[in-house]
Structure 1
Amino acid sequence: MALRYYIQSFASTLSTNAENNGFLSILLPMAMTDAPLMDTLVAWSTSHLAIRQQNVQVKALEDRSVALRSFATNLRDLPPLTCLAICLVLTSMEAVLGNTLSWYSHLSAAARIINSTVSPRLDDSSLASSLDSSAEGRWLLRNFSYHDILASVSRSRAMLIPGLDFLGADAIQVPDTYLGFGVPPMKLLGEINVLSQTLTNYENTSNTASAAGDSSDAAEIAARLYAIEAELRQWRADGSPDDPLIMLADSYRSAILICLYRALRYHRLADPTTATQQIQAEVGEIVTRITSLPHGSSPECTLLFPLFMAGGEAQSTEHRAAIENRMETIAENREFQNLREALDVLKEVWSVQSRTTAIDPARPYDWTCVLERRQWDLALS
C-alpha cells in the first residue's frame, strides 16, 4: 500500500515537474537495492497518507519506528550516498508533518555526511565532494543545498555548508525537481546568506549596529550585494511567461530580492523607506504571479518560500488575503503541514502589525520575532 501510494500519488506532489522527478527516478531505484532507504520511503509515504486517512495513523507511527531502527542498525554498513538519501528523506518527512524542530537535526546529519566526503580538487585549491561523481549524488547534493539555503533564511543563521556550490546550474538541462528553472537565483540567495551572516558577525564583534558600515570589508560586501541585485533584476528564465515553471522561477527571483532588500535594510546599507518600497514592489509581483499560476499545477509544491517571504512583508489587505488563500488551498490539496505552520506565523505577524507601529523602521517586528519567541525552526522547503 505505502509503496503504491508513493509511486502513484505522493511523489508527484513533491516535484515541480514530471520530466525530472528525482523522487521517482533517483530515490526509488536506490531504495530497490538499499532496504533502510526503502524503509524510510515507506515511512514517509504512510506518514503523508495518515494526514489524509486517520485509520493509517498507527501504521505510520510503526513505519517511522521501523525506518529509524533500520537506519540506526545498518548505519555503519551503509555507503555515504545512501545515508545522505535517508537523512534528506527524513528532513522532508518531518517538514511535511509540520515538525518545527527535528527536520533540522536530520539536515545537520546530512551536512556531516557530505563533509565526510569532501576533499581538495586535484587541479586547483577548491573543495569537492566525492558524491558529485554520480547522477544520484549530484541530485542529492542539489537537494541538500535547496534545504540548506532556505533553512539559513528561516533560521537567520549561517548555512551548514556555506563554501560549496552543489546546485550546478550550468549542468542542469531539464527543470530541477524542487526549483524548476529557478536554480540560478537560488545560487545567488546562498551568496546573499553568506554575505549577510558575515555582516552580522562584524556587528556582533563590535557590539555596535553601525560597525558594518565602518569596515572596508563590509563595504566590499555591500558592493557585492548591490551587484547581486543587478544580476537578479537582469536574470530571466527562458520560456513563455505563462508557463507555470517560469512563473515559479520568477516568484523565486522576487522572493530572493525581498531577502536581499531585507538584508540591506537590516544592516543599514540602504534607506529603510526605499528598501521597504522595493520590497513592496516584489510582493506585488509575487501576488500577481500566484494569481495567474493554475491551481493544482506541479510548481505549487515549492511555492511556500515565495509565498512566505511575500506574506511576511505584505502591507495591503488585498495582498495578504491572496497569499493566505493560496497557502490554505495548497495546504488543503497537498497536506503539507509546514504550510499551515508558516501561515500561522504570518497571521500573527499581520495581527501584530495591524495594531502596532514599529519603533525602528530598519528592523520592524516580523516573522523572525515570532519564530524566536516560539523557538521554532520553520521549514520553508
Structure 2
Amino acid sequence: MASTLPAQKKGRSRRSGTPWTRGGCITCKSRRKGGCDRATPSCNNCLKLGRVCEGYDDLWVTPLGPSALVFKSDKGPKRRRLNSSSPSQPPSPCSSPSSSDLWQDAQLSPQPVTPGWSVPSSPQCRVIDLDVEESSQEQASAELDCLSVIPKPQGFLSHLSGHEAHYLQYHEAMASQRLANLESEHNPLRSFLIPRAMSSPLLMKAVCAISAMHLSNRTDSLDAKTAAIDFYGRTLRGLQAVMAQSVTEVVPDDAMLAVGMLCKYEVVRGSVKHWVVHLTALHRLIESRGGLGSMDSEAAHFLRGLYVYAYSMGQISNRKKVLGNLILADTDMETPRLSIYLGFTEDLLKICACVAELPALAGDDLSLRLAIASINDSLLTWTPSSTRLNIPQDLTQSTLVRLKLVAECFRDAGFIYLHSILEHMSRDISPPYHTTSQTPNSIPKWSTLITTPKHIAIDRLLARIQSFPLDDHCEYSALTFPLFIAGAESDVFEHRELVLQSLSKLQENFGIGNTLRAKDILRILWARQDAAVQDLSRKAHWMDILEELQWELTLA
C-alpha cells in the first residue's frame, strides 16, 4: 500500500495568504495577517479570531529581544537546517565596567570576520533566515519585515545574533538620526557605519552598545541598559585582543572606529570620566597609523569630525585640560566635509578652546591682553562661510538655516564663555575680601577688551533659543553647551527655568545623557549662588563646582 502512494514531498512550501502590510496592529503584524482595519481599541481581525489586539504602539517603547513575540512563536522552536548563530541570551545585570581596566586587562579571541561582503546602495533589503520551519513561518516573516531597513550583505552573517539584529535596526531607524547634529540622506552613522558593522563583529558590538544605551535613556528600560553594558564590555575585550595583535600588525580601521564609538557611548551615557580614556586612546591610535591620511577616506572623515568635536568640548569644560595637547593634525586630508557633529561651529569651537588656554597667560599681562583682543575679533568677524567645507548636495535650505542659527548661538556662547573665564581668573589672583588698601581698581579689567557685554550675549542667545521650537530636528541637539554657559553665567532668575526646560527638551528628544549632567551642575551652582547672594565676592563659579566633584564634564 505504501508503494502505491506518491512519495510525500519533503521540505516546506511558501504559505499563501493575504499580503502583509506595515499598517496593521502589532498582533496582525506578528501573525503576518493582512486586512487589519486599525479599529480601536481592538481591530476587527483580532475580535473575529478571539485574539488579544496589542494595539498600534511604537515597537520601540520596550526592547524586542529574542524572546519577544515578534521574534518567536508561542510554540517551541524546531530544528533549523543551518547552524546559524543562536540569539544571544539577555545579559545579567551588572555595574558598568571600568574602561581603563578593560583596556588593559581584558582578553578575548577576536571573532572571525567573513570577507567579501559587498553592500548594495539601496537599503531596502532584508537579512533573511532561510531555515525557519513551516510552523514558524508567520512570526519569521514578521521578523524579516521588521529588519527590512537593514542593508543586506552578499553572504551569511554568522556573527549577527538576535540582540544585535534588534539594536542594529533601532540604530538605523532612530539612534543614528538622534545622535548627530546634522541629519541628511547620507548620514554616515547609517550609510557608512552600518555596512562596516555588517562585516565587522567588533564594530557591530560597539554600534549595538550605543544603540542599546540610547534606547535605555529614552525608555528607562532595564533590559536595554543591561544589553548596553554587555555590548560595551564585549567591545572592550575585543579591542584588547586587537591591540595585542597590533604589535606586529597595523591597527585596522574598524578597531579605530570602535574606539570612537565607545567615546560616543560614554557621552550618550552621561559619563564624566571614561570618555577621556577612549578619546585619548583614539588619538594615540591615529598617530600610530601616521595620521588620518593613512586611513580609508570615509573612515578618516568620520573620525575627524567625531574627534575634533569631542576634544574641543572637553577642553571647554575642564580647567585642568584632561586631554592635554592632543590636537589632531589633518593637513594630509582633502577639504573637510560638513561634519554631522560640527556643522558650521568648528571655528567657534576652536576659538572657545583658545579661551580655555587663557589662564596659562595670567603671568604675562601683555600677552594675555593681545590674546583676548584676538579672540574678540575672531568672534566678531566669524561667519558660517569662514571655514571652507564640502557641503552635501542633499541638504535642504531649512536644514542649513537651522545649522546657521545654532552656530549663532555658539558665537554668543563664545562671548559668554570668554567673560566667564576672565572673571574666574580675576578671582584667582584677587583676594577674596577687599580691605581699605585693596580696592576694586586693583582687579584686572580684562573684560573691557570684549566688545560684547556678557548680559547682552546672554539675552540674545536665550531670546534666540526661545524662538526655536526645539523639536526633534537633530541640529538642535548641539545646543547643550550654549544653554549650559548661559544658565551658569546669567544673574536673571527667570532665565533658570528657560534653561532647564530647554535642556529637558533636548534630553527627551535626543536621549543624550550629558544633558542630565549639565542640569546637575547648574542646580548645584544656583543653590550655592542663592546661599551667597549677600556676598558677591564669594560668588560660586561653575568650574569650581566641577573641580570639587572631580568631574571631567563633556557637553558634546
Q: TM-score, normalised by structure 2?
A: 0.58
Checking the alignment, whether the CA contact within 8 Å between 2:507 and 2:515 is kept in structure 1 is yes
Tell me which residue corresponds to 1:3: 168
1:182 to 328, 331, 345: 345
Checking the alignment, whether the CA contact within 8 Å between 2:242 and 2:251 is kept in structure 1 is no
Deviations, residues 69-111 of structure 1 (Å, cap 9, x unaligned): 2222223356353333222211111121122211211112112
Distance 2:449 2:527 in 1: 24
Tell me which residue corresponds to 2:233: 65
Checking the alignment, whether the CA contact within 8 Å between 1:247 and 1:293 is kept in structure 2 is no
Cα distance change, pair 344–267 in 1 and its aligned pair in 2 (3 A): closer
Distance 1:168 1:84 in 2: 18
2:253 matched to 1:81?
A: yes
Tell me which residue corresponds to 2:205: 39
Cα distance change, pair 13–313 in 1 and its aligned pair in 2 (3 A): same
Give the percent of matched residue pairs that are identical in Structure 1 and Structure 2. 24
Tell me which residue corresponds to 2:511: 335
Checking the alignment, whether the CA contact within 8 Å between 2:376 and 2:450 is kept in structure 1 is no
Gapped regions of structure 2 (runs ≥ 5): 1-165, 386-396, 427-443
Tell me which residue corresponds to 2:360: 198
Q: Which amino acid counterpart does residue 101 of structure 1 have in structure 2? A: K
Tell me which residue corresponds to 2:381: 234
Q: Which amino acid counterpart does residue 150 of structure 1 have in structure 2? A: M
Aligned residues: 354
- 1:137 Cα deviation after fit: 0.7
Checking the alignment, whether the CA contact within 8 Å between 2:372 and 2:450 is kept in structure 1 is no
- 1:272 Cα deviation after fit: 5.4
Cα distance change, pair 31–111 in 1 and its aligned pair in 2 (3 A): same
1:156 aligned counterpart, secondary structure: coil
Cα distance change, pair 134–251 in 1 and its aligned pair in 2 (3 A): same
2:473 to 269, 272, 297: 297
2:412 matched to 1:254?
A: yes
Gapped regions of structure 1 (runs ≥ 5): 119-127, 204-210, 214-218
Deviations, residues 257-302 of structure 1 (Å, cap 9, x unaligned): 2222233334456445887982222211221121122222211222
1:153 to 316, 319, 322: 316
Tell me which residue corresponds to 2:31: none
2:458 to 273, 283, 286: 283
Distance 1:358 1:275 in 2: 28
Deviations, residues 160-200 of structure 1 (Å, cap 9, x unaligned): 445545599993454x201222222123223333x42532x
Q: State the Cα RMSD in Å.
A: 3.0
Cα distance change, pair 164–97 in 1 and its aligned pair in 2 (3 A): closer
Tell me which residue corresponds to 1:208: none
1:47-62 superposed matches below 5 A? 47-51=213-217, 52=219, 53-62=221-230
Q: TM-score, normalised by structure 1?
A: 0.82
1:306-345 superposed matches below 5 A? 306-345=482-521
Checking the alignment, whether the CA contact within 8 Å between 2:379 and 2:411 is kept in structure 1 is yes
Tell me which residue corresponds to 1:141: 304
Distance 2:324 2:191 in 1: 27
Checking the alignment, whether the CA contact within 8 Å between 1:132 and 1:138 is kept in structure 2 is no
Tell me which residue corresponds to 1:90: 262
Q: Which amino acid counterpart does residue 353 of structure 1 have in structure 2? A: Q
2:196 matched to 1:23?
A: no
Tell me which residue corresponds to 1:103: 275
Tell me which residue corresponds to 1:12: 177
Q: Pick which of 250-259 and 130-139 moved more.
A: 130-139
Distance 2:268 2:170 in 1: 16
Checking the alignment, whether the CA contact within 8 Å between 2:420 and 2:489 is kept in structure 1 is no
Distance 1:315 1:277 in 2: 17
Distance 1:278 1:331 in 2: 30
Checking the alignment, whether the CA contact within 8 Å between 2:412 and 2:461 is kept in structure 1 is yes
Q: Which amino acid counterpart does residue 322 of structure 1 have in structure 2? A: L
Distance 1:16 1:367 in 2: 25
Cα distance change, pair 292–69 in 1 and its aligned pair in 2 (3 A): same
Q: Which amino acid counterpart does residue 237 of structure 2 have in structure 1? A: R
Distance 1:299 1:102 in 2: 26
Checking the alignment, whether the CA contact within 8 Å between 1:167 and 1:183 is kept in structure 2 is no
Distance 1:133 1:337 in 2: 31
- 1:41 Cα deviation after fit: 0.5
2:263 matched to 1:263?
A: no
Checking the alignment, whether the CA contact within 8 Å between 2:293 and 2:330 is kept in structure 1 is no
- 1:345 Cα deviation after fit: 0.6
User: Bigger relative contact order, structure 1 or 2, given CA contacts below 8 A and separation 6+?
Assistant: 1
Q: Pick which of 290-299 and 9-18 moved more.
A: 290-299
2:364 aligned counterpart, secondary structure: helix
Deviations, residues 36-70 of structure 1 (Å, cap 9, x unaligned): 11111011111222231333333333222222222
Q: Which has the higher helix share?
A: 1
Distance 1:112 1:296 in 2: 35
Distance 2:398 2:370 in 1: 33
1:223 aligned counterpart, secondary structure: helix
